[in-house]
């Protein structure tokens, strides 16, 4: 089965990110294809490389990055939601006149059309968070 995943909540404030991560990992282990993971609303906060949880806590951003690398996942961050929350890749930082970027490895910034495409291309689009 080809699955798209939508993550609407940020890490550490809601269980949606942990649940989405565990779902994606389990789906891959069962042989399903994860077409795309799309981060929207506060879910874009899962993509900032500046997150630094206490050492005895899980690092949700690192988990996502490692999973993307291991399984070649397409993890897309909504550009409008990211801009509102100060999350930028190198190109967007230059475009906005900023001196740094903060997007974590394995994530890319794109438009809402990527979510629409996932909904069209997938057998199922599973949403985590409000």
Q: What's the pLDDT at 108?
A: 98
Exposure pattern of 18-52 as b/e (b: 16+ CB <10 Å)? bebbebbeebbeeeeebbbbbbbbbbbbbbbeebe
Q: Which domains does the chain have, with CATH numbers?
A: 2-128 (3.40.1260.10)
Catalytic residue (choose from 6, 37, 76, 78): 78
Facing residues of 2 across strands?
33
The predicted model scores a pTM of 0.96
Q: What's the pLDDT at 112?
A: 97
- Annotated active-site residue 122? The verdict is no
Q: What is the pLDDT of residues 38-91, one digit of tens each?
A: 999 999 999 999 999 999 999 999 999 999 999 999 999 999 999 999 999 999
Q: What is the pLDDT of residues 101-110, one digit of tens each?
A: 999 999 999 9
């Amino acid at each position: 089965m080809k699955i798209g995943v939508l993550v609407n909540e940020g890490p550490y404030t809601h269980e949606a990110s942990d649940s989405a991560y565990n779902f994606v990992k389990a789906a891959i282990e069962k042989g399903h294809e994860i077409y795309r993971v799309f981060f929207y609303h506060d879910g874009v906060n899962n993509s900032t490389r500046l997150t630094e949880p206490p050492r005895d806590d899980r690092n949700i951003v690192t988990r996502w990055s490692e999973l993307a690398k291991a399984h070649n996942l397409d993890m897309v961050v909504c550009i409008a939601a990211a801009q509102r929350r100060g999350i930028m890749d190198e190109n967007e930082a230059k475009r906005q006149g900023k001196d740094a970027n903060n997007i974590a490895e394995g994530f890319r910034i794109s438009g809402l059309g990527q979510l629409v495409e996932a909904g069209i291309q997938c057998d199922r689009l599973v949403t985590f968070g409000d």
